[in-house]
Structure formats: structure tokens, C-alpha cells
Amino acid sequence: MNEHIMSKTIFFHNNNDFTGSTRVLANVIETEYAKQSVTVVSMNTNDGFLSSLANVHIVSVCYPLFKNKRIPFLSGLIFRLHAFFIAFVYGWRYDVFYINTIKPFYAAIVGAIYHKKIIYHIHEKYVTNSFNVKLLEFVFNHVPAKRIFVSKYVKEQYPSQRKSESIVMYNSLSTSFLSKVKIVPIEQRKRNVIIMISSLQRGKGIFTYIDIARKMPEYKFLLILSTDIGSIKCFFKCEIPSNIEFIPSQIDIHPFLRMSDLMMNLSIPSLCIETFGMTILEAMAYGIPSIVPNVGGPTELIKDGYNGFCIDVSDVDQIVHYINKALEQNEYGHLAQNSLERLKLFV
């Protein structure tokens, strides 16, 4: 057993939701901390992947809203002040601060003050260079810690730190996830259902996905978004083609993967570079090929032409071409089989 697992650990993660970074943290806790009572400092308490773990106690950080909307400047300020306070009050009794993503910078500061062992689990590299991003990265770059990067790509985006240990550890699928996988035989698939699982952000390429659905009426497109149906309806003002189905956040995505034939990841590199792609790995467990951007972490999961395609996702016509190619009968069989084979490198 790793030293940090034997020590008393407190976790920090800004949001308990249905996004990829929360899923990864839930998998880490389920796999490595299953026999311990775990404390997580987070914003939400009732609706997210962490809520499904019986051994997790969430200490909620206040994030005030007005009519269900953030209050400019004030919401963020109150959240950070309260988070600092919680970290100070709870932190002294723990040996290890496990910080998921670079967002809980307050935990790194408190951990350094208390001289605790700090573990940073890094999922992201921001494209923007705002004051907030500069603050997060400044703290990350100056606080000694064990750094766990989810891909080689992410590790290369940050300068090395002499007093920090840096490793690449690919995200893995939990035993509970793998136990529910029921693979549809490749020869029985109709090759007509395409799926994308994403957060509700323009940078994730969700409008590109809608454009593709409009151009390919012969296919059914599933779009699972990590929010509620009300927020989804408010977000989209454009006309939606009849062959696309919006699905709100799901704690169990297995039924949707069983009915799908192709996974899409369309993150727009100029707005959001995908650093790993947990949904790609989940699709691989079902023998589902993926079409992904040709930059970032997904290229470490998808070997172009072997278990999917790495392409320029800003070119809708090119995406349409590769969807047709991937779902063509002779091509699809080996892409699907190779997806299952390549999964072995990540489990």
C-alpha cells in the first residue's frame, strides 16, 4: 500500500458534479481508499459522483447564488474565503492534502503553512491567461508537492519544480464500472448511434456536434451533458435537428454506451485542449472506437487509424468523412476490436 494511502488524507475538489475530473477522483477514492472514511472539501454535497460513495463525507463550501445564478465577484470571493477557513480548521489534523485539479489553490497554501505532504492530481491546462488562471498556476508552480499528471501532454505544459516529484499516471476505470460492462458483439451492432459526453461548454465542441447531426440525418446522435435538462434547454437557442437527443447528467452511463457505436470528442483546441478524455477510455471498455482532436491527451488513448481517428475537429466536413469511414462495415470491425485491445494498456 502506498505511503499516502496509509496516512490520514483530506481531499479538496471544487465541485461534486458529473464532470470527468470528479469521476476520476471518485475512482481514486473507490479504488485506493475504499476501506477508509474519506473527507472531501467541495462545493456541492448532494448531486455528483462523490455522493454515490458510502465512505465519503463532504464538507460543503459556501457558494452564494441569486436566483440560481452566480453573483459576479461576490460568489467567488465568499467561496474562497470559506474554503480557506475550512482548510485551516480541518487541515491540521490530517497528514496529506490531496488536491484534485489546480483550482483548490487555497488548500495548497494551507498545506504549505502546516508543512503537510501535498499531492496535486492535475487534469487541466488552461488556454486562457486570465488573472484567476495566473493565480492558480502561480501557487501550483511554487508549492512543493507530489504531482500526478493524467497524461504526458499535461506534464509537458508545466515547468518542472526542483522540490516536487512529478509522475504521469493515466486515469483508470474503477472495478465497479468494469463490473457493469456488457459488450455488444461487434457483428450485432447496427453502426448508427453516435455519442458524445461533455460538460455544457462551447469549448467542448457541442455546437460542432449539432452541426454534424444536421449534416447526417441517417444517424442518431446522443449528447449527454453534465447538467440538468432545464439548463440544457436554456443554453441552446439554435434549431436542434430531430436526430439528436439531449440527455442530462447521468451517474450511470452504461445503458447509453451499450446502445452506441462511435464516441466523439470535439474539444476546440483554441478554447479548450482535452488533457485526457475519460469518456474515450469508458468507450474503449465497450469496444467503441472514437474520433478525437489531433492535439492533447486523447492522442495518447487513440492511435490514429487503429482504434479511432485523430483529426482536425474544426473541420466539420472532415469529421463527417471520418464518421462515415469509421462506421463503414469493413473498417468498423477492426477499429472496435482494437479498442478492446488498446484498453489493456490502461487497466
Q: Where are the beta strands (DSSP E) in 203-327?
A: 220-225, 244-247, 262-264, 290-293, 308-311
Instruction: Decide if 301 contacts 280 (C-beta within 8 A).
Output: yes
Is this prediction's pTM over 0.85? yes
What is the DSSP code string of 279-309?
HHHHHHHTT--EEEESSSTHHHH--BTTTEE
Asked if residue 4 has pLDDT above 80, the reply is: no
Distance of CA 175 to the CA centre of its chain: 18
Nearest-angstrom CA–CA distance, 1 and 345:
22
Nearest-angstrom CA–CA distance, 131 and 196:
32
Instruction: Decide if 55 contacts 34 (C-beta within 8 A).
Output: yes
Which set of grid coordinates corresponds to residue 140? 501550483
Q: Provide mean pLDDT across the span 39-66.
A: 90
Instruction: Decide if 55 contacts 38 (C-beta within 8 A).
Output: yes
Nearest-angstrom CA–CA distance, 87 and 110:
7
pLDDT grade, residue 317 (50/70/90)?
very high
Other residues' Cβ atoms within 10 Å of the Cβ of residue 166: 15
Residue 287 Rama label (left phi>0; alpha psi -120 to 50; beta): left
Nearest-angstrom CA–CA distance, 224 and 250:
8
| Maximum Cα–Cα distance across the chain | 61
Q: pLDDT tens-digit profile of 69-116?
A: 889 989 999 999 999 999 999 999 999 999 999 999 999 999 999 999
Q: How many CA atoms lie within 13 A of 41 on its CB side?
A: 29
Question: 75: which strand partners?
Answer: none
pLDDT value of residue 182: 96
pLDDT value of residue 268: 95
Q: pLDDT tens-digit profile of 220-263?
A: 999 999 999 999 999 998 889 999 999 999 999 999 999 999 99
Q: Provide mean pLDDT across the span 160-189.
A: 94
Instruction: Decide if 24 contacts 13 (C-beta within 8 A).
Output: no
Q: pLDDT tens-digit profile of 265-316?
A: 999 999 999 999 999 999 999 999 999 999 999 999 999 999 999 999 999 9
Q: Provide mean pLDDT across the span 179-191.
A: 96
254 φ, ψ to 5°?
-60, -45
Domains and CATH numbers, the chain: 3-169 (3.40.50.2000), 180-346 (3.40.50.2000)
Which residues contact residue 30 at a Cβ distance below 8 angstroms, ignoring those fewer than 6 apart?
A: 53, 174, 175, 176
